[in-house]
Amino acid sequence: MGSPRLARTLRVTAGLLAGLVVVFLSLGGYLYQLSTTLPDLRVDANAFKPPQTSVVYAADGTVLAEWHGEQDRTIVAFDEIPKTMRDAVVAIEDQRFYTHTGVDSQAIIRALKVNAESGAYRQGGSTITQQVVKLLFTEGERTLSRKVREALMAYQLETKADKGQLLETYLNLVYFGQGSYGVESASQRYFGKPASALTLPESAMLAGIIKSPTRYSPTQDIEAATQRRNVVLSKMYELGYISGAEKHDAEVADVVLAPPAEIPEIAPYFVEYVKQGLLDELGSELVFQGGLRVYTTLEPSMQKSAEESAHKFLPTKSDPEVSLVCLDFANGDILAMVGGRDFKADQFNLAAQGRRQPGSAFKPFVLVTALDQGIRPNAVFSAAPYSVEVTDGVWSVQNYENEVTSGSMTLSAATNWSVNAVYARLIMKVKPENVVKTAVAMGITTPLEPNPAIALGGLKYGVSPLEMASAYGTIASGGLHRTPRGIASVTDGAGKVIYEPESTELRAIDAGTAKTAGLMLHDVIEQGTGQAARIDTWAAGKTGTTQAYRDAWFVGYSSGLCTAVWVGHPEGQISMTNVHGIRVTGGSFPARIWQRFMLNSLRSREATASHEAPRLGDEGSPAEAGQEKVIICTDTMLLANPRCPSTVEMYLDPPLVPRTRCKAH
């Protein structure tokens, strides 16, 4: 019944419908195929793990360092982000955030219109949810496939997470310029405060940065950033987030930016020491991206004193280097560490990595071994030069500057004056292999060979100041050795402890042996080679000077602190025969540095009575005790002459007073 025109119309309509069906089926198939490749989207503690900045703290809470890879970020919870910040971002970035289901069709149409009219890309239509998807799950390339996947994932994400989770995630992910990712990092970077303390104008300024972190950065262009802030405030007022009065007050508010957020370089050698230890334990990804909180043992006031003391006597670049380590010998905590003069110039840590010959500072390990075998402090030995046949030939030992060529002396006197010949005889008596066992038990970790020369500090590999401080701390603590540590604990961003160094305490030497050795080392400071280290409280220690004045040491302890000081040239075996006019011995610069550091540290740190050894000599003055006042050359430890550049006043028992005057100057 119909006309040819009607039939043709019906055929065209049927063709169009068939074409639309094909298009919809194709599109449906395409969307279905894309949907099967979508990840299982969740915004929770397991799925949301972007890189975060790790922070290193000193014992008093001072920030020592921040470690991060390319992204400086600290995650904060939703309730730590002020409402002004949340509202500002929603107002300027996605005003229908709370009503759309992941994709805002109105924003897309508006963006298409603006871009078409301008003939260029002027405006985007992405929602906050789509930006979260892009930041978390897609690469960000501008393709149709990526845009469609992004929209599908945004819709899927909206069904699995509430708006609060999405906004929290976005504010922790988005880039705010100046290397800052997330609102917490940005708040600290620009305003020097946590995000929780942001004001309305500050929140609006941060929200304004997101569109163009370079153009609207307040540190780059404060005028542009302020204008952008006011645009955000106007949008907040338009949407009812703030009142007219709040808008006005915020628009006229002064912009107060924090100074450049440079973390001060406190204890750079110590920080690097801690970092390397954590890299070995936890790996680089967790250290640089895990948002760790690293709580260390360092005490900043003592570190400052250590650096000041180290550079007081040897301040110039041409001077020998100084390394210093201070431990709390009651628990092994590293309280201060000086690894060199300039970390930027040389990152090699002389305190932990530097191993040099200890000279006579190694003698206490021979002494402890002898005391443990029953040899008493009043045992008498020949002090004459000594030669003995050993495995690789004849070992010949001369005394320091050949000051003693005959006669005998007690082990106490030989310790006070560091007489080599006595200690050479002593190690042959107690056996080198036993001295090695003692040193290892007390805390020396560098491999040692049972060679008799170790009695005088002749080691194959040398030792580090950290090892020496740790080992002397064993004597100080009554024979108990505590492994040194620079880290108290490490937590994740939520405060959960993920690493805590095991605290080891081992009985290394007999308590009675430790006490006797400590009393003898106390005499070294009171009336021996270490008198330049004398302080106003009980102390014990030992000097060390190597052949040709190439290394100089002082290691000692008092009132809970054990400190090792080394002076030398790290670049080689260079003699220190004329440093500020003197030959450098353990009793000169190292002892003075030790003394200055310990005096300053002990005065600022309340001494713990249980850590102190008994005070001696309180029964009267040196003159009343029958001691003789003498002036000693610190270079030769002989009676000084008027030309000696460095001298010290001492009170000595008459048998210990040198009867030879120094002729070296």
pLDDT, average across residues 293-307: 96
Of 59-68, 122-131, 338-347, 363-372, where does mean pLDDT reach its minimum?
122-131
DSSP single-letter state for residue 175: B
pLDDT in tens, 190-239: 999 999 999 999 999 999 999 999 899 998 899 999 999 999 999 999 99
Position 32 scores a pLDDT of 45
The structure tokens 């100089």 sit at 552
User: What backbone phi and psi angles, to 5 degrees, belong to 119?
Assistant: 75, 15
3-state secondary structure of 649: strand
Burial class (CB in 10 A: 0-12, 13-18, 19+), 607: middle
pLDDT, average across residues 258-267: 74
pLDDT in tens, 313-372: 999 999 999 999 999 999 999 999 999 999 988 889 999 999 999 999 999 999 999 999
Indicate whether 115 pLDDT > 60: no
* CA atoms of 225 and 350, how far apart (whole Å): 47
Give the residue among 339, 331, 349 at the shortest CA–CA distance from 59: 331
Going by pLDDT thresholds of 50, 70 and 90, the confidence category of residue 21 is low
pTM for this entry? 0.75
pLDDT in tens, 422-454: 999 999 999 999 999 999 999 999 999 999 999
CA 232 from centre of chain: 41
**Structural tokens at position 481:** 């050795």
**Structural tokens at position 16:** 């169009």
Could you write out the DSSP letters of every residue in 508-570?
-S-HHHHHHHHHHHHHHHHHSTTGGG--SS--EEEEEE-GGG-EEEEEEEETTEEEEEEEE-T
CA 560 from centre of chain: 22
Sign of CA dihedral 248, 250, 253, 255: negative
User: Is 609:560 a contact under the CB 8 Å cutoff?
Assistant: no
Could you write out the DSSP letters of every residue in 65-101?
EEE-SS-EE----GGGS-HHHHHHHHHHH-TTTTTSS
Position 638 scores a pLDDT of 72
pLDDT, average across residues 167-183: 91
* CA atoms of 553 and 573, how far apart (whole Å): 15
3-state secondary structure of 209: helix
Q: Where are the alpha helices (DSSP H) in 174-299?
A: 183-191, 200-209, 222-238, 244-251, 268-282, 284-289
Express as a percent the part of the chain with pLDDT over 90. Answer: 62
Could you write out the DSSP letters of every residue in 471-511?
HHHHHHTTSEEE--BSEEEEE-TTS-EEE-----EEE-S-H
Position 22 scores a pLDDT of 47
Sign of CA dihedral 616, 619, 625, 630: positive
Position 635 scores a pLDDT of 62
pLDDT, average across residues 628-652: 69
Give the amino acid at 262: E
Indicate whether 619 pLDDT > 50: no
Position 39 scores a pLDDT of 46
Q: Beta partners for 499?
A: 490
Strand pairing class (561-568; 321-328): antiparallel
Position 111 scores a pLDDT of 46
User: Is 166:154 a contact under the CB 8 Å cutoff?
Assistant: no
Position 291 scores a pLDDT of 92
* CA atoms of 204 and 543, how far apart (whole Å): 63
Position 409 scores a pLDDT of 92
User: Is 81:196 a contact under the CB 8 Å cutoff?
Assistant: yes
pLDDT, average across residues 599-620: 53
3-state secondary structure of 421: helix
pLDDT, average across residues 609-632: 48
